[in-house]
Amino acid sequence: MAIVGLGYVGLPLALEFAKAGCQVLGLDTDQSKIRELSLGRSYIRTIPADHVAIVVRAGKLSASCDFSLVKKADAILICVPTPLKNCREPDISYILKSGAAIAPFLRADGGNRPKLVVLESTTYPGTTDEDLREVLEQGSGLRAGKDFHLAFSPEREDPGNPLSKVAEIPKVVGGLSPACLERAKELYGKAIKTLVPVSSTRVAEATKLMENIFRSVNIALVNELKIIYGAMGIDIWEVIEAAKTKPFGFMPFYPGPGLGGHCIPVDPFYLTWKARKYGHETRFIELAGEINTAMPDHVVEKAREVLKKEGKPIAGSKILLLGLAYKPDVDDDRESPSYVLMEKLEALGALVNFHDPYVPQIRPNREHSKLAGRKSVSFESACDLMLIVTAHTCFRDYPFQKIKKPIIDTRNCIQGSKKPSLYFQA
């Protein structure tokens, strides 16, 4: 089998299938990833190098930039990014390019049964059975459902969560036809313990969007309540801790300085775009997006307020952001609210540095290209204000109580005796 895209989704999946005894070919256009895997090394912090080395040495996992090698594979899984364009329109170009690259090699060899293509990238309903199908059929001269099988199975990867095991997370699977579904179930059954078959690829695509829209809307709710309760002198974190003791009808979500990661800031707008094609508005999704997008402005205003109390303008003040990753204990900085905060603060004249033990240097990225190359500085670096953006576990051991400068905590990271005299929440 082959896996196209060896990032935070593709690599863990490749390792799981390899551990299950499958012969896995990893394909990616990034030659540095191919080089690292060929040497048995990991380039994702949360994936131990020995997990890679074991399956590479056993000959179960190989990697290449040569997409023509899929002609030897009986199944091809596509795990590539699905970002948004500037106008919040879906960008499925990576999916379509991957489909075009593998299409010429979909014909079954000799008497072998038809190949299977599965899309795992989060996208709007209809991508698999319309857009990807068209590219595959045009590029191969074959018919989906007859000459090759086609399915969709959304990724459910949770980077940095030690309790999240690929093999143990139930896998939703939808096929273009009943035969396509059975073929996909057969494949995933080799590595995944629990399969959740659904009636179509569109149902499977919609399932993934619902999962992330649910999170986006509820995060927006607690973000709004944080501001309202804060104005009343009520600690939202204490409220959540009390509310989550209810054993039914409540699920805790937590506020923050904005949304991060590839999924939640992006995926809901795939449905928003598609819904317009059917003449419908997605008011909950749009409102949640407005609230979550506005959270960095709330944090910036809090920074201005705190600095003013210290007799300093925000222009010219040195601000140290703690945390560049979008979630605790990972090196994943995709869509991190830290970038938005850096740009907004610097637009007001602040001098901004960051400290993150997991992200030593800002990598090139499409959305915030001007920040690429900046390096993490020491926690002890001189500053006028410290702003905690990511609640890395290691931060709990930092001597915040000794800091004589104001600290704004957006994640409830500092608790108890660790709180300094100039402690604020935002």
**Share above pLDDT 90 across residues of the chain, in percent, rounded to a whole number:** 88
Is pTM beyond 0.85? Reply is yes
CA end-to-end distance (rounded Å), the chain: 48
Give the span between the Cα atoms of 17 and 267, in whole angstroms.
Answer: 26
Averaged over 274-300, what is the pLDDT?
95
What the block records as the tokens of 405 is 């400068």
Give the span between the Cα atoms of 112 and 256, in whole angstroms.
Answer: 52
What is the structure's pLDDT at 110? 60
Q: Is the pLDDT of residue 106 over 90?
A: yes
Single out the residue of 214, 236, 233 nearest to residue 224, CA to CA: 236
Place of tokens 């099988």: 149
Single out the residue of 124, 257, 293, 98 nearest to residue 202, CA to CA: 124
pLDDT band, very low/low/confident/very high, at 220 (cuts 50, 70, 90) = very high
Per residue in 385-402, pLDDT tens? Answer: 999 999 999 999 999 999
Per residue in 322-347, pLDDT tens? Answer: 999 999 999 999 899 999 999 999 99
Q: Are 99 and 139 within 8 A, CB to CB?
A: yes
Class of domain 2-199: alpha beta
Residues in contact with 312: Cβ distance below 8 Å, sequence separation at least 6, in sequence order? 384
Single out the residue of 336, 383, 386, 342 nearest to residue 359, CA to CA: 336
Weakest mean pLDDT among 242-256, 313-327, 366-380 = 366-380
Strands (E) located in 46-194: 61-64, 75-78, 116-119, 149-152, 171-175
CATH number of 224-425, picked from 1.10.10.10, 3.40.1390.10, 3.30.9.10, 3.40.50.720: 3.40.50.720
Averaged over 261-285, what is the pLDDT?
93
Averaged over 239-264, what is the pLDDT?
94
What is the structure's pLDDT at 111? 60
The CB density around residue 283, as the number of other CB atoms within 10 Å, is 9
Q: Which helix (H) or strand (E) holds 4?
A: strand 2-4
Residue extent(s) of CATH 3.40.50.720 domains in the chain:
2-199, 224-425
The CB density around residue 311, as the number of other CB atoms within 10 Å, is 6
- Residues noted as catalytic: 263
**Residue bearing the bigger pLDDT, 21 or 163:** 21
